[in-house]
A and B are shown apart, each in its own frame.
Chain A
């Protein structure tokens, strides 16, 4: 059992977005022979939940959320490495896996980056392919990582058609039922999502989290 004081310290460091501090304490706890899953369940997850709560209430702001998410990812990697090296061998289960990309021809990605941070902060495993990503690459990587959801972002009316092309490509490849799809970006609307056959539309990052949770819980 990890001392309550140490767990509280780990959680506090995460809430304070002290990435180096979180990494150091995670390594220290694991080196002492303690259970990495206990660290995750009793310190890191409550910490990132608190961060999400603070953001929702307007106490913390976006850059702080992204810093905390970055620290969480780093700590999770340390925990997972430790689990791989133990008899347990069972990696920290993520709530779900999402692949996200800005579509081909579009270089806008600030909104997408915010979504990625928020999703990681909520415990989802996110594969961010970046911007200007073609449909074939999106599908290839979705299969490779065996994701649950493919999310695409388009900020231009001229590039949003790529979201429709993705839907058609998934159908042609016989993969449509394997992945849930979600669209977002300024020109996108619920009507657009319905028209192209996407499973969900996210108005903004927080709406995206809600939709992702609905999809994952519905699986």
Chain B
């Protein structure tokens, strides 16, 4: 198991955990979906139909938390592209999700996203070793009512990685799941775990679940997709101003969502996704990343482990797409989240995920490789301690470059070499100054011209196309 850092004491985590249980039991969630209310009542929740509130007894909540698997496979198009979601799994990136703009960090340009940009993200994600999941984006060149369906088509055609199937409604989700079915072969195959997708189940803070969210959850569950539960809450806005307060409310919301999902389908895999933001009381603006938010993500990691459920967080930027600050946010967020033991983390989304950046994605992948290399530490053994080699060199040639010990370990002792960082001396660099962004852009060009994703079979492409047409006909 790779090492991870825990900032909070067990007692502190238990206080938050207990507060969350208390909120669910005494404050409950606001819900009106008739079928969900029936199911929850049958499971042991107390339903007050007058006030539209559902109260979750602690026993029910803890029983449902225990039903969710601690570890599970998130499938790609083939097993080679699967990744494991779990409390101690290898760290992976989930690309920007929901963005509406594409920002070019090298050229400092921005434009509304198109389906071609979504295809670009899918392709780049397919090529990068640390990307596990590719998020859906929001194209501007598709019908407004079916943009999420067009987004999924671009992703399915251009990546073999797992896809986060964001949706605008249960009506749209029906068509999206049909598209996945076309690629995966059958609904049964999807239910058995080969579904190349993950779903989303959202709460509106504070403590409110809409009817359509339940409809979507039922569809995801029917097709066997694991579900991320993002708690997108605004510290000081629709969540308490105190950091402990947002953790209590968010954890209650996550637990409540888990009870609902496990009641709909026992054993459905879920993530506790901390996607907190902070209301900047000095300006009224929203901060998507800050030291305080990072500290709350540290608690999310520990709380998820307490619940025995995989955590996921993010490190989007508040910078409004300014390159240097973006790099800082990506570096601190990616490294720190990985150190916290968060196995799946978002990022590469700029301006609070309103913008997608291929450069940020490549950089985040590099930063994650760097971080994972640090955490792999080194092999400590009599051979690698090199005592004999030290004795020889210290009393002999006094250089290790040509020593047999060096030659013996030259290829086996790991040294990470970045694809985009510079390794030349300052003098050499000044002769031909090349920025990190420029090198990243060169690498992006290389991926786009050289990386290939095997096309889907013609009959699958046709089936997807027919589904999109049917969706347009019904929904536009």
Binding site for B on A (CB under 8 A): 58, 61-63, 107, 110-111, 114, 118, 157-158, 161, 186-187, 204-206
Contact = CB atoms under 8 A, between A and B. Distances in A.
A110 B168 contact: no
B15 interface: no
A107 B234 CA distance: 14
A118 B285 CA distance: 13
Given A110-B234, A157-B100, A158-B168, A58 B284 contact: no
A58 B237 CA distance: 18
B284 A62 contact: yes
Contacts of B354: 186-187
Instruction: Give me the 7 closest cross-chain CB pairs, A-B, nearest first.
Output: A61-B281, A110-B237, A114-B284, A62-B281, A205-B284, A58-B282, A62-B284
A62 B138 CA distance: 32
A206 B283 contact: yes
B279 interface: yes
B296 interface: no
8 contacts: A58-B282, A61-B282, A62-B282, A107-B204, A118-B284, A157-B147, A186-B352, A186-B354
A204 B284 contact: yes
A206 B100 contact: no
A187 B282 CA distance: 22
B320 to A, nearest CB: 10
Interface residues of B, number: 18
Given A62-B282, A63-B281, A157-B147, 9 more contacts: A61-B282, A110-B234, A110-B237, A110-B238, A157-B100, A157-B144, A204-B283, A205-B284, A206-B284
A53 to B, nearest CB: 14
A161 B238 CA distance: 25
Contacts of A186: 352, 354
Nearest to B101: A189
Nearest to A115: B284
Nearest to B234: A110
Given A110-B237, A187-B354, A157 B281 contact: no
Contacts of A158: 144, 168
A187 to B, nearest CB: 6
Interface centre among B144, B147, B236, B282 (most CB of A within 10 A): B282
B147 to A, nearest CB: 7
Interface string B147-173: 100000000000000000000100000
Interface of B: 100, 138, 144, 147, 168, 204, 234, 236-238, 279, 281-285, 352, 354
Nearest to A63: B281
Nearest to A208: B284
A157 B138 contact: yes
Contacts of A107: 204
A111 B280 CA distance: 11
Contacts of A204: 283-285
Contact of A187 (B100, B279, B281, B284): B100
A186 B100 CA distance: 10
A161 B279 contact: no
Nearest to A203: B285
Contact of A110 (B138, B279, B281, B283): B279
A186 to B, nearest CB: 6
Nearest to B282: A58
Nearest to A66: B284
A61 B138 CA distance: 34
A186 B234 CA distance: 14
Contacts of B138: 157
Contacts of B283: 62, 204, 206
A174 to B, nearest CB: 27
A62 B144 contact: no
Contacts of A111: 284
Contacts of A118: 284
Contact of A161 (B144, B282, B352): B144
A205 B279 CA distance: 13
A218 B279 CA distance: 33
A157 B142 CA distance: 12
Nearest to B285: A204
Contacts of B237: 110
A204 to B, nearest CB: 6
A195 B79 CA distance: 46
A206 B283 CA distance: 8
A198 B281 CA distance: 29
Task: Identify the interface centre among B144, B282, B284: most chain A CB within 10 Å of its CB.
Answer: B284
Contacts of B147: 157
Nearest to A205: B284
A211 to B, nearest CB: 15
Contacts of B279: 62, 110
A158 B279 CA distance: 23
Contacts of B144: 157-158, 161
A158 B237 CA distance: 22
A174 B46 CA distance: 52
A204 B352 CA distance: 15
Contacts of B236: 63
A63 B138 CA distance: 34
A107 B283 CA distance: 22
Nearest to A118: B284
Nearest to B138: A157
Contacts of A114: 284
Nearest to B238: A110
B96 to A, nearest CB: 14
B225 to A, nearest CB: 22
A39 to B, nearest CB: 29
Contacts of B284: 62, 111, 114, 118, 204-206
A158 B475 CA distance: 13
Nearest to B111: A191
A204 B284 CA distance: 8
A35 B234 CA distance: 44
A55 B467 CA distance: 53
B287 to A, nearest CB: 13
Q: Which of B204, B281, B352 has the most CB of A within 10 A?
A: B281
A111 B234 CA distance: 11
B422 to A, nearest CB: 35
A187 B281 CA distance: 22
A161 B354 CA distance: 17
